[in-house]
Structure 1
């Protein structure tokens, strides 16, 4: 409870929850647990477009928003993905948030996080030396 009172990066603060309950309408939820809202009327709008919000499930990280919801939040799509989902092509990969700084981050061979050992250079490598 104290986290939600004093930190905005661990989910919505009570003030934001109150504002959204008063002015917003729940539109949908994505696979990561993020919840999306839109303003009830045009009084909370800009450029004639209703305001849209995302309340992150857990730590506030923008890369946790999938592309279809990102497009809806930025008014690229009129309809939310709950009513009109983006068509998926077979070559598209599933959305993954930025994993840097986590235990799931990519660590190539030779990385210090993997022990710093790398393969020896092959015979086609020639070290640069100043003349």
Structure 2
């Protein structure tokens, strides 16, 4: 049916003979590792039958405020690591004056 910007390829069965419901089967073959967050919104809508036509035939309008889909980077070297996390050395900045430690009475 088509291919997205990540190189993922999308397919639809010719008929619904192997379907468990009334829909034709739709699936994706990922380019690289299989991660569902690598599927752009327009293709995700088509895969889940929210959209009848694939984005190759009926592209969705992009609004100026919409951002591109980003894959989930958790567990990769590109994952966000906040200051003070163990993967960044575990050093936290000193507390500012707006913090008061609690002590039991």
Q: TM-score, normalised by structure 2?
A: 0.90
Q: Partner of 1:85: helix, strand, or coil? A: coil
Q: As a proportion of its length, which structure holds more strand?
A: 1
Map 1:1-131 → 2, pairs under 5 A: 27-131=1-105
Structure 1 residue 97 displacement after superposition = 0.7
CA-CA distance at 1:34 after TM superposition: 1.0
Q: Which 4+ runs in 1 deviate beyond 2 A?
A: 44-48
In structure 2, the gaps of 5 or more residues are none
Question: Which whole-Å CA distance do the structure 2 matches of 1:57 and 1:66 have between them?
Answer: 13
TM-align CA RMSD: 1.3
Distance 1:78 1:90 in 2: 24
Give the total of aligned pairs. 105
Which segments of 5 or more consecutive residues in structure 1 lack a partner in the other structure? 1-26
**Partner SS, residue 17 of structure 2:** helix
Post-superposition shift, 1:46? 4.1
Using CA pairs under 8 Å that are at least 6 residues apart, name the structure with larger relative contact order, 1 or 2: 2
C-alpha separation between the residues in 2 aligned to 1:81 and 1:68?
Answer: 6
Distance in 2 (alpha carbons) for counterparts of 1:91 and 1:110: 32
